Structure 1
Amino acid sequence: MKQIEADVVIVGAGGAGACAAIAAQERGARVVLLEKAKVVAACATSFAGCIFGAGTHMQEERGICVPKQKAFEMMMDHNHWQCDASVVRRFVFGSADTIEWLLDNGMEIPIVATKTEREDEFATAHILKPCGPGHGGVTLVQEFVRKAQEQGAELFLNCEARELLMDHGQIIGVRADWQGTELVVKAPSVILSAGGYGANAEMIREHDHYELGENLFLLHEFSQIQGDGLKMAWAAGAKKTGMGPQLAGYVIKGPGIAGAAPWLVLNQLKICIEQPWLWVNKKGKRFLNEANVMNAPFVSNAIEQQPDKCAYVIFDRNCRDFLATEGAINHMDLWGDAQIKNLDAQMERCIRLGNKDVFICHSLEDISAQTGIDFEGLQKTVARYNAFCEKGEDEEFGKNPDYLEPLNTPDYYVFRIINNFYGTIGGIRINENMEVVNNEFDVIAGLYAAGADACNHYGGFRPTYNINLAGGTLGWAINSGRMAGYAAAKYAIEKRGQ
């Protein structure tokens, strides 16, 4: 057994943990970081590098007006007031100062933008400049952990935190497994920032009723995200909150679908399924206005309500030719040329590799035979949809007439799509000081949570990303990590002086 002492122990060296370490050191705390993975920033590869900020000087310089009060109200309306308003308010009103803090700590933020340029979005995404492979989120974690180590923090990799140590209801440390050796870190403050349970198939099945990898696709390959922080907090008496996968959009899974690093699923075929053409479920029925498919989180919620939690995107040869000559109408994340000139070859390659979610069909009957979509339902839907296209009015969902393209010229191109997610969020109830509370809303002395484990500002049972205020997930990780670091250090140093 190895035993060491610190002021603040941080479980998880991701976005929240790295920021917590720097913040705690700024207040004079001795810091230990425990990271389950072999490297830091493993799960940060799923960050897009977008950090929420409201009322920043960068917005003002660009003529962008994002009042903090307005952003706070929008965030609370989005989650239907299912979370602690004092926590959300502190996040929103402190976000501009945190952007300045990042700049002061050497980060570069060259871009302020919306997510998809929809009219109802505010430009709140402050996009970190990457240094080397990956998005800016990776750079932030790597640089902050390096800086923390230079300033005296101890980092333990391949280290799985197992248990919170307590004495008379107060935190006194953490017990962990460090490469087969029992590691005990005695400390009055512990910050849990272990990243949720996104790779835990059993928890996903039991709590969220998805089959991981079958009808829900995780946007990274890091198996260490098993809900360790949640389980330790709950065992210590923490109050549970709403939690679940943060549905980020939709993907085609299976062989042949591989995009640019660090993402797993974004390439030209991904662009195909973002177009505003015909979408149906397994019964052959439309279920949404396809002009809205760029609001990916909301569309994910709609897909979740369909049979088998999947949907099908269908278009014909005319639309294929449009993609080749005019290019994509929509693209959230573009990899390569927007003009898709070899769609048949790309799809045929996937099919040869055994992909069961990509189809080239010669008729509606063939679509039904290959995909399992109900033929009668599909036939009725296509007939009705084509009539809307001819009339120039969608009488079912009111789709913009510019996107009413009939389905009547074989071949037909079909993609079966499922939801994807960056990871899970929520699970641990905190107060505005990032302190973990119990079922009576009393503070568990010395215990703090940040990042995904305590990310509750998106709502309750099915937390939905707020695309109108982009950057909220990484922004929460950074802001909550910073706030937790300050609070944990203050508490620990006060305890040290007793």
Structure 2
Amino acid sequence: MHGARKADVSEREQVSRWDHHYQCVVVGSGHAGSCAALSAIDSGCRRVLMIDKCPKEWVGGNGYFTAGAMRCAHEGLEDLLGVLGNPISEEERKSIDLDMYTKEMFEGDIQRLSDGRSDDGLVKELVDQSRDVVGWLSKRIGVPFVLSTNRQAYEVNGRQKFWGGMALSVNHGGKGLIEAHQKALKDAGVDLWFDTKAIKLMMHNGEICGIEVDQMGSYINIRSPAVVLACGGYEASPDMRAKYLGSGWQQARVRGTPFNTGDGFVLAAAVGAQTTGDWEGCHSTCWDAEAGLNAGERELTNQYTKSGYPLGLMINFRGLRFVDEGEDYRNFTYAKFGKAILAQPGGAAFQLWDAKMLDYLRKEEYGDEIVTKKWAQTLEEMVGELEDWGLENKGQFLSTLRAYNQAVQGNQIQQWNPAIKDGLSTNRKVLRIPKSNWALPVDTAPFMAVKVACGITFTFGGLAIDPKTTGVLAHTGNVIPGLFCAGEMVGGLFYGNYPGGSGLTAGAVFGRKAGVCVGQRVLHS
């Protein structure tokens, strides 16, 4: 059935009239979908199609906009050297402190940040397969991994000290990741259709038998025994954000693709798929307040992130602190602090540092060409600068800083090491909200401030899947034969918060697993 859609055609007639035949159709051109398509090829599928409703220039979904960090269990530096795109010298190796990150630690971090709500089966599969899938990405797909010294290490006494359990990222971030995927997909012979929206999953005898798509107004039926849904959550839909997260979330800035509007959930619901997980939760972060509202910027991508808050303070328009900036390592708090910013008056706040911390801020996030800054030689002068950005209560702002500086009196920088949780904290009896680590006085000119808002990355609610196969579960609890799911559409893995770098790893683990199971289905059908 090609051309104008015939709404009155019966299911029996539809499934007997196919325009194209494939062994697997992947919906979504991002990281998880790419892993699924390549894994399906490796598992015996000869004809694999990837579709995306976005135009070609928006290929890559949210994966394109990431910093490329991938968290995995590992045994330390020597264990990770084999996956790096370029070797490092013996001299460099001797200057690196990188502790092992065990499966128990990885699993513990996920469950700790979710308050124990994460699905045990999903967490186990993610953690158990994390190191192996990183090797697969490196060797099979050519993902150019590097040690994340710019994001996950500080230089302390001439040594690179890694922190927070994460050590790997992709050279050139999400751009490098999607470039590697695109080359591998082309080499493998996977067909890619852009400007193609999936509009209906086709069923026959209770099993997936194909998919109907709208390709720029032309309706096409594609026969396939397997469909992998990997087209992201609903974070780019203001209406769905308002429905599930709350009305204030309409003002959140979309960090990535504008095409993740929950279409996959509509498709799955129509065939009785079960949803699960934290539909009121999402990954949100501190984002440049001057960034666009409805989509990320494909040139700057993740550079709008503003993650230097553990080294300074965050203060709202009323002059009050509202989070414990030193509660934990940055990669254990940034996914939830965007929500805290959105809840503030005006949905924005200020990040503030003094001269002692400026050299520790990442240049890719805080460079002069990246973000607008306010400078001052005194805190009183800074108050005047911030009035232009919405500061409402000058007196409270100064009072907050005086109280903070009093609470950290005696804390000295020679005791300070940003690569460890140092316990250098405020006096809890003095402040309503403490700063639990890295708490130094803000007292040395020049002072610098930036304005931040909430950037939403992806949503946590999704489809219920079998952790072993990624098969989508129906409301009956049984797998819907032929329907698989990977990436940000998977529900039940993250609740409220998540360990940084886990999302891309999960996309790879469950994407590869989906491809393997597609191959098994095709070969046995």
- Which range, TM-score by smaller chain? 0.7 to 0.9
DSSP-derived class of the 2:360 partner: coil
Contact 1:247/1:419 (8 A) holds in 2: no
Contact 1:364/1:375 (8 A) holds in 2: yes
Q: Which of 150, 167, 175 lines up with 1:135 in the alignment?
A: 175
Tell me the residue number matched to 1:466. 499
Contact 1:107/1:129 (8 A) holds in 2: no
Tell me the residue number matched to 2:55. 38
Tell me the residue number matched to 1:352. none
Does residue 32 of structure 2 align to residue 16 of structure 1? yes
Tell me the residue number matched to 1:86. 121
Distance 2:130 2:436 in 1: 37
Distance 2:290 2:221 in 1: 43
The one-letter code of the counterpart of 1:453 is M
Relative to 1, partners in 2 of residues 1:246 and 1:401: Cα closer, same or farther, differing over 3 Å? closer
Q: How does 1:368-447 map to 2 (within 5 A)?
A: 371-374=390-393, 377-378=396-397, 380-388=399-407, 394=427, 395-396=430-431, 397-398=434-435, 403-406=440-443, 415-432=450-467, 433-447=469-483
Deviations 1:278-318 (Å, cap 9, x if unpaired)? 43234432223334583422433433444454333356xxx
Does residue 163 of structure 2 align to residue 126 of structure 1? no
Does residue 337 of structure 2 align to residue 289 of structure 1? no
Contact 2:143/2:180 (8 A) holds in 1: no
Q: Which of 298, 309, 318 lines up with 1:274 in the alignment?
A: 309
The one-letter code of the counterpart of 1:310 is A
> By how many angstroms is 1:431 displaced?
1.2
Tell me the residue number matched to 2:289. 253
Q: How does 1:80-479 map to 2 (within 5 A)?
A: 80-113=115-148, 115-117=151-153, 121-130=163-172, 135-149=175-189, 153-209=190-246, 211=248, 214=251, 216-220=252-256, 222-241=257-276, 242-243=278-279, 246-254=282-290, 262-264=299-301, 266=303, 270=306, 274=309, 276-292=311-327, 294=330, 295-314=333-352, 319=354, 322=355, 327-331=358-362, 333-334=364-365, 336=367, 362=381, 364=383, 371-374=390-393, 377-378=396-397, 380-388=399-407, 394=427, 395-396=430-431, 397-398=434-435, 403-406=440-443, 415-432=450-467, 433-454=469-490, 456-459=492-495, 462=496, 464-467=497-500, 471-479=501-509
The one-letter code of the counterpart of 2:482 is G
The one-letter code of the counterpart of 2:514 is A
DSSP-derived class of the 2:142 partner: coil
Deviations 1:45-70 (Å, cap 9, x if unpaired)? 21222233223796526674222243
> By how many angstroms is 1:440 displaced?
3.2
Relative to 1, partners in 2 of residues 1:18 and 1:398: Cα closer, same or farther, differing over 3 Å? closer
The one-letter code of the counterpart of 2:185 is V
Show structure 2 runs of 5+ residues with no match: 3-18, 82-97, 155-160, 412-425
DSSP-derived class of the 1:196 partner: coil
> By how many angstroms is 1:73 displaced?
3.2
> By how many angstroms is 1:191 displaced?
0.6
The one-letter code of the counterpart of 1:276 is L
Identity of paired residues, percent? 21
Contact 2:288/2:306 (8 A) holds in 1: yes
Q: Which of 44, 48, 63 lines up with 2:67 in the alignment?
A: 48
Distance 2:197 2:503 in 1: 24
Distance 1:179 1:256 in 2: 27
Show structure 1 runs of 5+ residues with no match: 348-359
Contact 1:158/1:179 (8 A) holds in 2: yes
Instruction: Identify which range, 108-117 or 173-182, moves more after superposition.
Output: 108-117
Q: Which of 99, 106, 110 lines up with 1:75 in the alignment?
A: 110
Relative to 1, partners in 2 of residues 1:412 and 1:25: Cα closer, same or farther, differing over 3 Å? closer
Between the two proteins, the alignment pairs up a number of residues equal to 457
DSSP-derived class of the 1:280 partner: strand
TM-score by length of 2: 0.75
Relative to 1, partners in 2 of residues 1:456 and 1:146: Cα closer, same or farther, differing over 3 Å? farther
Contact 2:35/2:515 (8 A) holds in 1: yes
Distance 1:58 1:380 in 2: 46
Contact 2:31/2:508 (8 A) holds in 1: yes
TM-score by length of 1: 0.79
Deviations 1:456-483 (Å, cap 9, x if unpaired)? 4222xx3x2313xxx2111111111110
Deviations 1:400-454 (Å, cap 9, x if unpaired)? 58621149x8x98654421113233431111111011123322112111001111
Tell me the residue number matched to 1:357. none
DSSP-derived class of the 2:50 partner: strand
Quote the RMSD (CA, aligned, Å). Answer: 3.8
> By how many angstroms is 1:232 displaced?
0.8
Tell me the residue number matched to 1:350. none
